[in-house]
Structure 1
Amino acid sequence: MTTGQPARRPKTRGVVLDLIRAARTISRIELATNSGLTPPTITQVVRELIAHGLVVEVGRGASTGGKRRTLLQLNPTARYAVGVLFERNICVIVVVDLAGRLAARTSFLGTALLPPDQALPLVASRVDALLETAGVDRDLVLGVGLASYGPQDRQSGVLLTAQPTDEWFGYPVAPRLSDILGLPVLLDNDAAAAAIGEFWLGTVEPHAAYGCIYMASGIGGSVVTAGQVYRGSSSNSVEIGHITIDINGDECHCGNFGCLENYAGPPAVIKQAMRTAGLGRRLGLDPNDVDVMTHFGRIATAASAGDPTATDLIVRSARHLGTGAVTMMSLFDLDLIVLAGPSFAAAGAIYQSVIREETHRRAFARRAHPLRVIASTSGADAAAIGGAVLVLRSELAFLELNGAEPPQPPEDAKDDHLSRRARAALTTKRVSRPTATGGG
């Protein structure tokens, strides 16, 4: 972009905010150079951001022979966003400030046995409690990023999977949670949220192309290039957990056969442990318990402590995940894979070592460039933090700009996407909060 793009476009402001966030302090001239926007456009955008309290001037930089340049910085406490990891077995809720810094966090057991009309009010009550505990003014909260599994319809905020039960298929999770909370809610894939959270927190270089393997109770993937998530045609891309690694394998719930998730995912590891003589009983595993994360955590912890039988199971899972990492690297010519999600918490070092070995041995472009496999900066909270970051990067971050003018659609609608309910919330700044508490 080299010509004067209208400063009112949310995408333009998003680029500028991202650059200021990444640099911590930066001048207007540097913003113009790094963004490709013209100096007049940068001047206009920065003026708007300062007027709305999102950016502040923080003195002058060192002299380079001429006039010392005024430095800019984000005002972290000007706005907040909430991120929610909505998983079958665990829910994590975070509050982050405008700079993406964690202000508050809570977690609780997931909603595997609850129907939507009970689960979502529970999540909303925990969001309310966390905001109150953190002392965050709700008027400064831009919205909620709801990171969950797929497939999903991000535009409508609907899950397109009958998990954990049939009641969830086609259920409007984002609109319903928005109604209960009185805040705009964006639905996104948990792996995509985790991947973009790593970009925001500075784990990867600003212009890097990298992949993220995300593992909670299932396995997901995402690819990011220069801070933009690869979305595909319906934002259900890079489902690495559902590539076939055994054409003669059993049918997966997704309809495919021999899926990676059925060999490497936590439920698969638990099944293998139950079939291993003495291990299930020794670790207190219950085949009828729906708490996958707790049981997998016991196996992973035992492996990290040196239990040879548990270690064998985790290494086997890691080698299968290595196939997923090699596939991602070969398809997208990536040189970096980030491992994120709660299931990497206990045995992350084993997974990282084995997956790195597999990629260095098997990736197609291994002789063309170095390959890296690293652990997420935010670990088990990656998707929740990423959900909040996606709110900060969307139109919601600019809902008060331009007065009553309706928000403009983002330049890349597939990346900065808002549900119709969230767009409606933008025009009124807040959704009316229901008078009743609890369920529907």
Structure 2
Amino acid sequence: MGDFNQAVILDSIRRSAEGLSRVELAASAGLAAQTVSNICRRLLDSELIVEAGKETSGPGKPRTILRLNPKGMYAIGLHIDPATTNYVLLDAVGTVLVSVDEVTDLASPPAQAVAAMGSQIRRIIAESGIPEHRIAGVGVATPGPVDAGSGTVVDPPHMTGWNRVPLRDILQGSTGLPVVMDKDVTASAVAELWAGAENNATDFVFVYIGTGIGAGLVLNDQVVRGSSGNVGEIGHIIADPDGPPCDCGRRGCVKVTCMPETLVAQARAVGVLPAAPEGVEPSLPADLAALAEAAAQGNRKAKEVLAQSARRLAGAVSVLTNLLDVDKVVFGGPFWPALATTYLELIPELLRQLSVTSCVHSVEVTGTVVNSGEEAFGAACLVMEKTFSSNAAQLLLDAKF
């Protein structure tokens, strides 16, 4: 209970841009003034929060404002994508202090590649000069599926040989730090809650567009992970019944109609993009950016490729919004910037038409508040979530009946 109450106080403080007084914290948390005072004293002693001046609001003595201490805690984020691996060092208020990108090593044995990532994390910490006891841990975002209980990556698409890789154990051994791991789509949903703490809806779907497409889910202000940590595998939702065949035996799944590599292949087929030179590995990010640029310049065929993908993805997303009755859809991920203009132009109206609750409430469609190129931010936020966010499940006893 004490840990839960402390998390409630920390979460309340971080959500307030201006900070809160002890009186305001007691009112918002529903805790006794003495309990709040005791918790705040502990947080001040550990330097997780600081006193940030006084505020007068009516009669009585001024109230002391409490805010998060940016230097009180830090987190490392590691985002592993089949194309690129990103690292960030984050302070307690979400400022990115260090950002490093490198090509993902898919040639080496997975265990060796992951150990090298741990060595890179050690270098980042050493070069930052931050005391190691202030580093709360390492958050890792990886393509699914995952085995959350064992911290294992389970044969993600586009990462041949990465089957049952004990990623969490390898990184804990190579960094000497606690490691928390989640799917990249779930980490992105956590980042959206963290970065937009004051303005976010409490119920939303996060549609992650990377090398693959997945969905993160937030209900009642809590990230939903599912029984095995694999919520949001939407690759086999049918987006176009007349679309191409999928390896699952059906036709028109998201996996074969909406993925960035599918859009690039379609663009090549209609002559928007040139054929890839023989012997040269194509660059998916560069090709998708070229497709988006052609559409922006008025190329009719390029515009239709993107518009068709928007229609297909809107159909798939509407399955989620209708099932879950959320009031917001957030798009993000490494390839979102190239698609943002077309998708934000077309998808809101398409979702309105496909929504069974449009006569009750609208479904807002936005792009992520997290900066493009900082996907590892979401991974670092996994550590912050574990430290700051209050979850009623913490109060349950592990009892067997």
Q: Taking CA–CA contacts closer than 8 Å with sequence separation of 6 or more, which of the two structures ends up with the larger relative contact order? A: 1
1:86 corresponds to = 80
Say if 2:221 is the partner of 1:227.
yes
**Matching residue's letter, 1:412:** A
**Matching residue's letter, 2:367:** A
SS in 2 for 1:167: coil
Aligned-pair CA distance for 1:141: 1.1
* Greater CA drift, 136-145 or 109-118: 109-118
1:340–1:382 contact (8 Å) kept in structure 2: no
Aligned-pair CA distance for 1:367: 1.7
Would the alpha carbon gap of residues 112 and 262 (structure 1) be closer, same or farther in structure 2, given more than 3 Å must change? Answer: farther
CA distance in 2, matches of 1:346, 1:245: 20
- Aligned-residue RMSD, C-alpha: 2.7
Say if 2:145 is the partner of 1:151.
yes
2:393 corresponds to = 412
TM-score normalised according to structure 1 size:
0.81
CA distance in 1, matches of 2:69, 2:25: 17
Would the alpha carbon gap of residues 311 and 112 (structure 1) be closer, same or farther in structure 2, given more than 3 Å must change? Answer: farther
Q: Deviations over 1:104-149 (max 9, x none)?
A: 1121223344431332133234323433444433332111110011
Question: In the alignment, which of 218, 232, 238 is matched to residue 232 of structure 2?
Answer: 238
1:339–1:375 contact (8 Å) kept in structure 2: yes
Say if 2:43 is the partner of 1:49.
yes
Would the alpha carbon gap of residues 153 and 204 (structure 1) be closer, same or farther in structure 2, given more than 3 Å must change? Answer: farther
SS in 2 for 1:238: coil
- Return 5+ residue gaps in structure 1 as ranges: 1-5, 399-408, 415-440
1:60–1:71 contact (8 Å) kept in structure 2: yes
Q: Deviations over 1:365-419 (max 9, x none)?
A: 1121132111111143464112111102215x79xxxxxxxxxx974369xxxxx
Say if 2:63 is the partner of 1:63.
no
CA distance in 2, matches of 1:31, 1:112: 49
1:107 corresponds to = 101
2:207–2:331 contact (8 Å) kept in structure 1: yes
How many residues are aligned here?
Answer: 394
CA distance in 2, matches of 1:285, 1:240: 33
1:163–1:169 contact (8 Å) kept in structure 2: no
**Matching residue's letter, 2:84:** I
Question: In the alignment, which of 8, 13, 17 is matched to residue 10 of structure 2?
Answer: 17
1:250–1:257 contact (8 Å) kept in structure 2: yes
CA distance in 1, matches of 2:103, 2:126: 21
Question: In the alignment, which of 347, 358, 379 is matched to residue 339 of structure 2?
Answer: 347
SS in 2 for 1:76: coil
CA distance in 1, matches of 2:228, 2:44: 36
- Return 5+ residue gaps in structure 2 as ranges: 396-401
SS in 1 for 2:164: coil
Question: In the alignment, which of 304, 318, 329 is matched to residue 321 of structure 2?
Answer: 329
Residue correspondence of structure 1 range 280-295 to structure 2 within 5 A = 280-281=273-274, 284=276, 289=281, 291-295=283-287
Would the alpha carbon gap of residues 285 and 64 (structure 1) be closer, same or farther in structure 2, given more than 3 Å must change? Answer: farther
Aligned-pair CA distance for 1:253: 5.8
Residue correspondence of structure 1 range 152-231 to structure 2 within 5 A = 152-202=146-196, 205=199, 208-231=202-225
Aligned-pair CA distance for 1:212: 0.6
CA distance in 1, matches of 2:318, 2:198: 19
TM-score normalised according to structure 2 size:
0.89
Aligned-pair CA distance for 1:214: 0.6
Question: In the alignment, which of 94, 115, 120 is matched to residue 126 of structure 1?
Answer: 120
